[in-house]
Structure 1
Amino acid sequence: MPKFNIYDVLFEIKEKYINEKFIFINGEVMEKILREMGATDADFDGLKDVSNNLGSDPTLPFRESKNGRFEFNFLSSTINRIEFQPFVLSAQEDFVRHDSGKVREFRGIGDDLQLNRAFQALLIFKAFIVWGVDVRHRFGLDYDSRRWVSTVFNLRTITTPDLVGEPALEGVHADGVDHTMTTLLGMENTTDDSAITFIHDNREANGTRWDAFDQDLRLGQAQHKRFLDTMLIVDHERKHSLSPVRAAMKEFRATRDMLIFFTRHPALPEHVSHSYDSFEPHREIPLYIEFPESLRGSNV
């Protein structure tokens, strides 16, 4: 059996991402990558449990959530936790939902997640994959900057006998960023057809339900099923939608736990998020990570 070479694997993933604008990486491969970056069994166990500490979501009754903001600084080859800011996504950014344009405030990610070495390795992995990838420019972002914002959401979608959990209630959408990455932490009591991700051509109409889209504009699909299954999407060049979370045993609740990494260039004054785009460090729970020396000469 050939030895796992992390550099060959990372460059292969990056090349496919550049060519296809989205990529799905199975959890077994991701686990090997994260172990090579220093993650241990204890870190993986911590990731599986971290979603038990989430709070109520500000706008969705079937979701629990936390978020945190991190800077990808490609000048200093570092990742830094930056201060709390409200969060907003607008219809102009291809996000059409009842809370489009609403300023939302999420509870903050704590040290139980940000000090986890598997989580830190996911941040480094994403920084490596997205740096230097040419993307279609979004309105109002500073594409000359080498300091990027990565907003991370830890989310639990919940289905009960009275409420269906929708990982993407908004239907076909984009996330208003340059690169979206999604990583599965766990699922309980879910059906085989729960939370399938569909990838759409940008011509698909925003807000179209996951089961009503034009099949001719569907570019692919994937399903996070095992721990650490991960998808990356060039967000302004591919839209996506998801099927609901459904309970296998309908009398009990079903859950789906995810990490979502939204990464983009900083907002200019004309952008809806400009007022909430500070790069000041987080004072209460700071974090400072250096890119591994072995990756610094490889586009990071």
Structure 2
Amino acid sequence: MTDMDLDEALAEIAQIKERYVRDRAAFVRGEHLIRILSAFGSTPESVAAFQRVTEGLPPDPTLAFRKARNGRFCLDVAAGRAYRTEFQPFVLTADEDFVRHDSGKVRHFAEINDETQQNPTFQALLIFKMLVVNDVEIVHRPGLDYDADRWICTAFHTRTITTQELTGEPALEGVHSDGVDHTMTILLGSENMSEESAVTQIHDMREKNATRWSDVNPELAIGRWQHRHFLDSILIVDHERKHSVSTIEQRDVSVPARRDMLVLFTRRAAVEGHVSYAYDSIAPHETLPMEVKLLVPTHG
């Protein structure tokens, strides 16, 4: 597989962005994305290492079938840099189209570590996503600052597991949005999943929140994709399209099934009165610093 130079990568991203603007969602094959990321510093060695970073994840604070870490990053377009921000809790509410038993609960996740954030492939993913979404005109969410040339990105690193005793739900909340402007879901690996496991459906905003993936209105279905291979990715304009994900089923019921994902939630910073305002610090992380140059145009 050959690398891409910068001009070639930017041309490929322009085509992805065209689909994203038109459809408000886009699927990118992992094999294609790996080549694009090579223009932004990803190497074969970092790609291989990135396939192993999910081992050792700690338990999720509210979901028994999931292990998780998260980390916050400030994507400062005006300054042309992305950097790790200090530890902050995470909260998502029903008002943001996320209806689940822990909606509104302030959750404290273990932190994404250097093994992930210092990996050149992870850093290239931040660059790639910003090149796709930065100047896309979208419906604005209430309570976010669209005047500042800066984004908040929450990176979720998860492993969802199904066993004979436990059913893994990639989206237990059913039909939902993620309370952000742009969501990007990226497959890092899977094992022993059935062919119909973890299918992502894209829905019109009229679909009812919390509807189980199997009970959705087909007339409101817009798209259907499945992450099958390493770095297969889906981008969604989160306040214009809802989504759901089907259950993880075992191919061999005697062996656990797993699905490892990286999810990048990107939105403008919260303003006073927004539920996340208290958790939107842009102060750099003192013990887990990370910074990477952003190749993003500064016009909005």
Q: Give TM class, smaller chain.
A: over 0.9
Match of 2:247 among 244, 248, 252: 244
Partner of 2:166: 163
1:235 maps to 2:238: yes
Match of 1:14 among 14, 17, 24: 17
Partner of 1:153: 156
Shift in CA distance, 298/275, structure 1 to aligned 2, threshold 3 Å: closer
Whole-Å Cα distance in 1 between the matches of residues 273 and 126 of structure 2?
Answer: 28
Match of 1:277 among 272, 277, 280: 280
State the aligned residue count. 297
Q: Where do residues 1-300 of structure 1 align in structure 2 (5 Å cutoff)?
A: 5-291=8-294, 295-297=295-297
TM-score for the superposition, normalised by structure 1: 0.96
Shift in CA distance, 257/3, structure 1 to aligned 2, threshold 3 Å: closer
- Structure 1 alignment gaps of length 5 or more: none
Q: Cα distance, 1:298 vs. partner?
A: 8.1
Q: Cα distance, 1:157 vs. partner?
A: 0.3
Check whether the contact 1:39–1:117 (CA below 8 A) recurs between aligned residues.
Answer: yes
| Cα deviation 1:130-165 (Å, max 9, x = unaligned) | 111111111111111111100000000000111110
Quick one: which amino acid aligns to residue 175 of structure 1? D
Quick one: which amino acid aligns to residue 102 of structure 1? K
Quick one: which amino acid aligns to residue 225 of structure 2? A
Q: Cα distance, 1:3 vs. partner?
A: 9.3
Whole-Å Cα distance in 1 between the matches of residues 137 and 289 of structure 2?
Answer: 31
Whole-Å Cα distance in 2 between the matches of residues 72 and 36 of structure 1?
Answer: 19
Whole-Å Cα distance in 2 between the matches of residues 254 and 3 of structure 1?
Answer: 33
Give me the CA root mean square deviation. Answer: 1.6
Q: Which secondary structure does the structure 2 equivalent of 1:7 belong to?
A: helix
Quick one: which amino acid aligns to residue 82 of structure 2? I
Q: Which secondary structure does the structure 1 equivalent of 2:54 belong to?
A: helix
Whole-Å Cα distance in 1 between the matches of residues 285 and 217 of structure 2?
Answer: 44
Q: Cα distance, 1:297 vs. partner?
A: 4.7
- Structure 2 alignment gaps of length 5 or more: none
Q: Which secondary structure does the structure 2 equivalent of 1:232 belong to?
A: strand
Shift in CA distance, 157/299, structure 1 to aligned 2, threshold 3 Å: farther
Quick one: which amino acid aligns to residue 152 of structure 2? V
Amino-acid identity (%): 50
TM-score for the superposition, normalised by structure 2: 0.96
Whole-Å Cα distance in 1 between the matches of residues 120 and 255 of structure 2?
Answer: 33
Q: Which secondary structure does the structure 2 equivalent of 1:56 belong to?
A: coil
Quick one: which amino acid aligns to residue 101 of structure 1? G
Check whether the contact 2:175–2:207 (CA below 8 A) recurs between aligned residues.
Answer: yes
Check whether the contact 1:128–1:299 (CA below 8 A) recurs between aligned residues.
Answer: no
